[in-house]
Amino acid sequence: MLVKYISFFIFIFIFNPKAHSQVSCAGAESSISRTADRVKRNFKTGDVSYDVEQIEGLVKRCNINIARFGWGNGIFDYWKNTGYQAEIDTAKEQIEHYSNYRNVDPELQEYRKYASRLKLNTQQINGYYSRYRNQGLTSARREESRCQPATDLRNQALGEVRDQDSIGWCYAFAGADLLTYKLGRKVSAVDLAMNYNSGFINSIYKKFGYGEQDFKGAHFYLWDGVISRTKSKGGACLERNLRSEDNGYTNLMDNLVV
């Protein structure tokens, strides 16, 4: 008899869309709040359209009034467009720097993608694209003609290239390699990253459950700031004491504990 009742309720859940929707929407507001917190942390620095669209989908499907969250009309477009503009700013910063030395087609594609999403003037987009594509190609030809035969700058201390895994700490790996090359001792990239991420704001986030792996990403030129922060803290750990490899998002904390 028990099996019969269980089967009946399973049938009702699967074949009654309304019942399924009610169950799915039961935790919709808390899910929206969590996702919105992530959006608010990141929308000024990069593309958050995926998270925003998840929120929009829940709001529409569950018929939720966004005024409950203190939001007004246009908030979703504001988040997305601000993120798109941040991506454009980053792409342009890289394009205008790297085009002095090499081809910048990948960065130009990123610029064009987000400029199109923002519906910027097509003539302006094409003009910028053409200018820096030509400059990059010219620079690449010039650098190729000037380059000397390839030289491997790795010394005994630096060794093979380290595997960054899925942690967004490329700036720390660059800084650690520079210190390693200079000092002749293998410096821990993870230690440099944690030094850089040890500021006042991040300390507050940590009180709310954020871990070291949650503080990822930095501008490509910030390795010098990483070294300065490490110097102010009195020095860096060596790789043998705090390893930098095999630190994917899911296993970093385990490695730190070990």
- Residue 165 maps to a domain: no
In a domain, 156, yes or no: no
Q: Are residues 37 and 133 in the same domain?
A: yes
Per the structure, how many domains does the chain have?
Answer: 2
Residues 210 and 102 both lie in one domain: no
pLDDT tens, residue by residue, 83-120: 999 999 999 999 999 999 999 999 999 999 999 999 99
Return d(Cα 204, Cα 128) in angstroms, integer.
41
| Cα–Cα distance measured from residue 90 to residue 148, given in angstroms and rounded to the nearest whole number | 31
pLDDT in tens, 120-168: 999 999 999 999 999 999 999 998 888 766 666 667 777 877 877 777 7
Maximum mean pLDDT: which of 20-29, 64-73, 214-223, 235-244: 64-73
| Cβ pair 201, 187 in contact under 8 A | no
HEC profile of 102-162 = CCCHHHHHHHHHHHHHCCCCHHHHHHHHHHHHHHHHHHHHHHHHHCCCCCCCCCCCCCCCC
Which residue do the tokens 């007004």 mark? 72
**Looking at residue 105, what DSSP letter applies?**
H
Classify each residue of 119-158 as buried b or exposed e, where b means 16 or more C-beta atoms within 10 Å of its C-beta. ebeeeebeebbeebbebbeebeeeeeeeeeeeeeeeeebb
Q: Do 134 and 52 have their domain in common?
A: yes
Query: What pLDDT is attached to residue 22?
Result: 45
Q: Note the pTM of the prediction, 2 decimals.
A: 0.54
User: Does residue 3 lie within any of the structural domains?
Assistant: no
Please check whether residues 176 and 122 belong to one and the same domain. Answer: no
Q: Which domain holds residue 131?
A: 16-151
Q: Are residues 209 and 250 in the same domain?
A: yes
Residue 63 lies in a domain: yes
Give the end of a domain, one of 120, 151, 182.
151
Q: Residue 247: which H helix or E strand, with range?
A: none
